[in-house]
């Protein structure tokens, strides 16, 4: 008969994101047929009694476990890809799923050269330009913004024209607060957000607050592509900290769970230190500790290794 301690350890190994491979190997690998039978009978959440008198895996749980075993492999594959190819493949998958926030994330948090590289990789991998596929796949008011974002090549120098920044802040304020149509459909809003340097836009957002008494984040529809764009540009560490907080909740859906891998892998060499500090500031617990509590096995160990690169 399987020992209660072993059963408890297996329950923990099968819970959370990923699986604890070492526990599974050390326990299941030693069990005799009767011990495996007692495990099947003792876990109705995994198995159910078949009418032909044997314990069968619940199909949904098989799919769940297969997915959890894949998390480590998927993280490793993403990590070893060239960053250009990684972003190109993430963009292609995002288009297929309609996850426009991932396109925004790639377009707004990479340097101009990195985004250009991703566009080149996309062209090589899929025999289309990313601009072409975004324009074809997006059939709502997000189209013009997203096409302009993935096409952008922003100035990255230190010069900011304060007079122009203040004028464009007034343009944004009028478009957002008094528009007869949605701000994302305003050509001037799209032009400013997608062509100006990040330093220039930070000045624009500061003037916006002076003029309006509120921030763009407060005035825009939460969860909109325009809101995500401004968050990514103005404070990537805050944006990514929010994404990770949602991913590490016990109630996280699969989209949010996948974001845990994506964000940590893509940001390990860039914003990870700032993201970790912001996460700790917002939630009172370190990102590493939360990952330790929430994830399992090789997947957990790999994520912790990547997070530690920012220390």
Residues 243 and 300 in one domain: yes
In a domain? residue 62: no
Contact indicator for 179, 220 with CB cutoff of 8 Å: no
Residue 194's CATH number: 1.10.220.10
- Triad 214, 216, 218: Cα angle to 5°: 60
Exposed/middle/buried for 84, CB within 10 Å: 0-12, 13-18, 19+? Answer: buried
Q: Is residue 65 part of a domain?
A: no
Indicate whether 78 belongs to any domain.
no
pLDDT of residue 201: 98
Residue at a domain's end among 116, 134, 153: 153
Residue 115 belongs to domain spanning: 83-153
Structure confidence at residue 311 (pLDDT): 72
Residue 76, in any domain of the structure: no
The pLDDT averaged over each successive group of 10 residues in the chain (311 residues) is: 68 82 83 79 77 79 83 95 96 95 96 97 97 96 96 96 98 86 92 97 97 93 91 95 95 92 95 96 96 94 92 72
SS3 89: helix
Backbone angles phi, psi at 48, to 5 degrees: -135, 155
pTM exceeding 0.85: yes
Residue 66 domain-assigned? no
Residues 241 and 288 in one domain: yes
């Amino acid at each position: 008969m399987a020992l209660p301690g072993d059963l408890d350890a297996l329950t923990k190994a099968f819970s959370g994101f990923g699986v604890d491979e070492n526990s599974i190997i050390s326990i299941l690998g030693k069990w005799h047929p009767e011990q495996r039978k007692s495990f099947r009978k003792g876990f109705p959440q995994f198995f159910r009694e078949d009418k032909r008198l044997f314990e069968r895996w619940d199909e949904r749980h098989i799919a769940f476990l297969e997915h959890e075993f894949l998390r480590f492999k998927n993280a490793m594959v993403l990590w070893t890809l060239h960053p250009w190819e990684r972003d190109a493949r993430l963009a292609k998958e995002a288009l297929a799923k309609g996850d426009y926030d991932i396109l925004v994330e790639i377009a707004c948090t990479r340097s101009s050269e990195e985004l250009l590289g991703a566009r080149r990789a996309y062209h090589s991998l899929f025999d289309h330009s990313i601009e072409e596929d975004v324009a074809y796949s997006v059939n709502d008011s997000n189209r013009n913004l997203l096409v302009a974002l993935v096409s952008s090549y922003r100035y990255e120098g230190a010069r900011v024209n304060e007079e122009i920044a203040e004028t464009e802040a007034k343009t944004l304020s009028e478009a957002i607060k008094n528009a007869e149509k949605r701000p994302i459909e305003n050509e001037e809003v799209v032009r400013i957000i997608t062509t100006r340097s990040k330093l220039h836009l930070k000045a624009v957002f500061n003037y916006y607050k002076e003029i309006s008494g509120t921030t763009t984040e407060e005035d825009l529809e939460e969860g909109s592509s325009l809101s995500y764009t401004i968050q990514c540009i103005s404070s990537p560490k805050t944006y990514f900290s929010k994404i990770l907080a949602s991913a590490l909740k016990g109630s996280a859906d699969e989209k949010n769970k996948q974001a845990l891998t994506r964000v940590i892998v893509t940001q390990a060499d860039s914003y990870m230190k700032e993201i970790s500090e912001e996460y700790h500031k917002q939630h009172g617990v370190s990102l590493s500790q939360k990952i330790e509590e929430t994830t399992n096995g090789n997947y957990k160990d790999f994520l912790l290794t990547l997070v530690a690169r920012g220390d």
